[in-house]
Chain A
């Protein structure tokens, strides 16, 4: 669906606090998207400084629905197959047409693990029909990209809370889980982080005032295993309400995850997984 650039949402969004945050974070600025314009050259420059990107070489695989059932909650999974060896530096997920095109950027640490398929899953808001890209930076500094196309609409403006009262009550609730592999010898484990948080996009209207609700979203997440960094994640409101992440990490001694999340209000949410084997 072509966006209406004259919509009061689009105009106001550009003046919202979120813009400054994205600029400060070095992420791409939200730019009103047009269906007939290829945004990739602009994004390539803004997010990747026009560095060479190898496309479709199989280093990164993206699972995303061609047709999203709910634009406010679109599950995506990025995979790096076992054949790809060596540590990864970063992963960037970009949705060309979203008001905030960068969905998330991860920087991996020593506990990110290797020696099996590496995965990262989350749920995103998709505002209009758009290309989605996953760009992985390997240890040699090369960028590898795969892209897909998602048909969905209304994810960013949609007030995701189906029951705002119930939602507000549970805010801050956090769950961290680990899933051991079937075989003890497998070097890759899985973890999950869930946070009750509206992840306000800055696009939603407060019905009582008619004004836009200030953006308030998950800005930073730090995941550690037994004290060592798995990854840091820079988040944006293109991540769905109640942010939900599944990811792989390298097997350690205890495999305890320690997760710290900070939102744009500076509120810190923290939780640990239960000790494994218990």
Chain B
């Protein structure tokens, strides 16, 4: 597994030194310039740093934290990225608040001033979409899986309320639900100028609106939350669909793959091994419970605990995963 951050377990996955190195490397780019700090950003004194690393030429990724939403992290949990073409920029996921999204946008603007033509969301979860508001000023197309609009709409109030409960009103300043303006129903490409992104909507797995993106130029594959590593996977779609998809991904070629939560540059398909093992263990244990006429409560106490020490945030999400998986598998 090639993983540049495998030794870094701190709350800030990318150190200041990394950032400076990244910026120095970028200084060669003719368009690099520092923009004045926007008023919205300075309103929040403690906006997250949202450091980025250039994992391949023109591909910049921010490593989200392995944490729950908190007033301190302002929803900076998911990996977010931007890709710079000759004419335009595409953003992939925007972090979990408008403030974090704005900090990420600021970082982007330190790299390039090309127009932000696309904001792509890999799926509907708040830690991936709640920073969208920061990009409204760029008037981009908001691109997502064709099922995302429905999924996010019905959950919008719940997401806003639970984010506010976890982070506080102040952290949610400016955050709003922005629905996709361009829906992806089948494989499609986006052009950034001498740079093509391939977008492929997926079957129900992590959610029913997972979209994966390939930067053809560098062979970089963005799996969104179809790939968790170190951070325990979370289920809001279908355990059977996800396991099936991992199987299908085995033959997929990519120079590198970016996870939704986990290291920002990994290899295919070995990066999928851990989550494949996790879901297999969870499914097997639940099926055993069901075969013995056991209940959901019993499964929640017993299924998948051999995975406990292998994941960050296991105690937070595992029981919920078992609950969702049980409700699916009991109908097999």
Contact = CB atoms under 8 A, between A and B. Distances in A.
B330 A69 contact: no
10 contacts: A69-B300, A75-B323, A121-B295, A121-B297, A123-B296, A165-B208, A166-B204, A166-B238, A177-B293, A205-B154
Interface in A56-102: 63, 69-70, 73, 75, 77
A207 B180 CA distance: 13
Contacts of B296: 75, 123
Given A157-B157, A173-B331, A208 B297 contact: no
Interface string A222-239: 000000000000000000
B27 interface: no
B324 A75 contact: no
Secondary structure dominating the interface of A: loop
A256 B280 CA distance: 36
B208 A207 contact: no
B42 interface: no
B320 interface: yes
Contacts of B331: 170, 173, 194, 196, 242
Contacts of B208: 162-165
Interface of A: 1, 4, 7, 9, 63, 69-70, 73, 75, 77, 121, 123, 153-154, 157-159, 162-166, 170, 173, 177, 179, 194, 196, 204-208, 210, 242, 244, 246
B204 A162 contact: yes
A54 to B, nearest CB: 27
B57 to A, nearest CB: 38
B238 A163 contact: yes
Contacts of A63: 297
**7 nearest A-B residue pairs (beta carbon):** A207-B150, A159-B154, A207-B153, A69-B320, A154-B158, A163-B204, A69-B319
Given A162-B238, A166-B204, A205-B153, 5 more contacts: A1-B161, A154-B162, A164-B208, A177-B293, A204-B154
Interface-centre pick from A4, A77, A153, A162 (highest chain B CB count, 10 A): A162
A221 B150 CA distance: 32
A73 B327 contact: yes
Nearest to B149: A207
Contacts of B22: none
Contacts of A206: 154
B323 A69 contact: yes
A238 to B, nearest CB: 16
B158 A164 contact: no
Contacts of B323: 69-70, 73, 75
A263 to B, nearest CB: 18
Nearest to B161: A1
A137 B300 CA distance: 31
Contacts of A158: 155, 158
B202 interface: no
Nearest to B209: A163
Interface in B230-272: 236-238, 241
Contacts of B155: 158-159
B33 interface: no
Contacts of A77: 297
Contact of B237 (A163, A173, A205, A210): A163
A164 B150 contact: yes
A77 B298 CA distance: 12
A246 B149 CA distance: 36
A75 B297 contact: yes
B207 interface: yes
B173 interface: no
A196 B296 CA distance: 17
B298 to A, nearest CB: 10
Given A170-B331, A207-B150, A70 B162 contact: no
B320 to A, nearest CB: 4
- Residue among A121, A166, A196 facing the most chain B CB atoms (10 A cut-off): A166
